[in-house]
Amino acid sequence: MGQLQPHVHRASVMAMRLVDIADTIDLAAVESLWARHARTAAARSRLVTTPPKAMTFGVPPVELALDSRHLVIGGVSMPASIMVRLYEFGVAAFSISVAANDLPWSDFSTRVNAVDSALGIASASTVWVELIAQITQVLGPALVRPSAEPLHEDYLLALVHAIEGVTHTATLHEQVDLVPLLSGESRPLSEQSRQELLRQRYAYYTDDLVVLTWDRAFIYEPRDDSDVVDIIEVANAQLLEMRYYDELLDAELPRMYDLIEATRSVANPFAARRYADLARHLHTLVAEVTEVTEKVDNALQVTEDVYLARVYAAALELFRVPHVSKAVDRKLAIIRDSYSALYEEASSKRGELMEMAIIVLIAVEIVIAMVRHV
């Protein structure tokens, strides 16, 4: 396939790292704390190009502009703009953007992979650690039960706003080779792998294009603003939170079985209290997890925008969010069943205790009656 060499006039590369920094975040407190620290107002995020009735954030995250810095990308020091969005359900979504203007297509693709090498999963960069430390230090009072060992998700976006030499964006993947950019691989991929990598393509107008993969996306948007970036971020945030609760419940289930076994092994007339206490613990756990996962599920509300709804649904499916969510639901169902069984057992033990008390009272009354007749 003969490849053209278009020229990228205006573009950027954005590296995202989403971190689960707390159980929940008090967004009102974030706005207040940030205003005192940075002496600038925080902004509530909103979708720019989509009507509010078509797609909105459930609870708009707070967006903070952090100090820009120079980063070494591909051996060259480059200015980078940095921001973070804070979601109510405990996720901080950091993004670092590096300009990639006036580059031939091959150099633009190289720039994308260089950003990934500098800031991606396999990089040794400490910039993410520094940013997380900065945010947790400034906004500590707004973090409800901060995470001791936070999970994270990484994602890379290649954003092009003006490109010369492409006649129709619907067939852009045929005019330029998107595969090295989307795969990060320098070796040629098989045709099957290439087709799979380019399968998730979406366009609304004749001059825009979105190509999604598991850990990267290419976005061509000549109107500069693109709500697709926000959608990809939300989908990653949902994946991160579902992963967190999946791992939390994975750790909780063995403890639950041990506690149940320990409770059942204690034979005493007051076992009902131990059953009831354990049942209340499980009920509280289910209530807390259910409340937060509902907030995660409703992070983005889609009604009328069919195109963005398709992209959003594709991102969720690609990131396997429904799969992880179902795993969380199954584990919650196990805990609910255990709670119900413990509650019934506690009730049964209380019934046995009452029967014993009645028998003892009857025996005492008989003894008293016999004593009186002696």
Averaged pLDDT score across all residues of the chain: 84
Let me know whether 20 and 86 are in one domain.
yes
The CA distance from 126 to 85, in Å, is 20
- Using the predicted structure, report yes or no on whether residue 246 has a pLDDT greater than 50: yes
- Using the predicted structure, report yes or no on whether residue 244 has a pLDDT greater than 50: yes
Predicted local distance difference test score (pLDDT) of residue 144: 94
Let me know whether 21 and 82 are in one domain.
yes
Q: Which three-class secondary structure state does DSSP give residue 122?
A: coil
Averaged pLDDT for residues 301-310: 79
Q: Which H, E and C letters describe 187-213, residue by residue?
A: CCCCHHHHHHHCCCEECCCCCCEEEEC
Q: Which three-class secondary structure state does DSSP give residue 327?
A: helix
Q: Does residue 66 lie within any of the structural domains?
A: yes
Cβ partners under 8 Å of residue 16, min gap 6: 93, 94, 95, 153, 154, 155, 156, 157, 232, 233, 236
Q: Does residue 208 lie within any of the structural domains?
A: yes
Predicted local distance difference test score (pLDDT) of residue 342: 63
Q: Does residue 253 lie within any of the structural domains?
A: yes
- Using the predicted structure, report yes or no on whether residue 302 has a pLDDT greater than 60: yes
The CA distance from 40 to 43, in Å, is 9
Q: What is the pLDDT of residues 114-156, one digit of tens each?
A: 999 999 877 777 999 999 999 999 999 999 999 988 999 999 9
Let me know whether 298 and 219 are in one domain.
no
Q: Which of 205, 226, 247 is the last residue of a domain?
A: 226
Averaged pLDDT for residues 218-230: 86
The CA distance from 289 to 12, in Å, is 38
Q: Does residue 309 lie within any of the structural domains?
A: yes
What residue numbers bound the domain in which 305 lies? 234-373
Higher pLDDT, 334 or 239: 239
Single out the residue of 59, 57, 58 nearest to residue 30, CA to CA.
59
- pTM of the shown model: 0.84
Let me know whether 191 and 243 are in one domain.
no
Let me know whether 27 and 133 are in one domain.
yes
Predicted local distance difference test score (pLDDT) of residue 99: 95
Higher pLDDT, 263 or 61: 61
Q: Does residue 1 lie within any of the structural domains?
A: no
Let me know whether 96 and 207 are in one domain.
yes
CB atoms within 10 A of CB 53: 9
Q: Which of 194, 226, 258 is the last residue of a domain?
A: 226
Q: Does residue 179 lie within any of the structural domains?
A: yes
Q: Of 45-49, 100-104, 292-296, which one has max mean pLDDT?
A: 100-104
Let me know whether 191 and 57 are in one domain.
yes
The CA distance from 148 to 183, in Å, is 33
- Using the predicted structure, report yes or no on whether residue 22 has a pLDDT greater than 90: yes
Q: Of 53-57, 105-109, 330-334, which one has max mean pLDDT?
A: 105-109
Instruction: Name the helix (H) or strand (E) containing 275.
Output: helix 271-297
Predicted local distance difference test score (pLDDT) of residue 136: 94
Let me know whether 23 and 160 are in one domain.
yes
Predicted local distance difference test score (pLDDT) of residue 332: 84
Number of domains composing the chain: 2
Distances (CA, A) of 150 to 120, 240, 244, 370: 17, 10, 9, 71
Let me know whether 178 and 257 are in one domain.
no
Let me know whether 198 and 308 are in one domain.
no
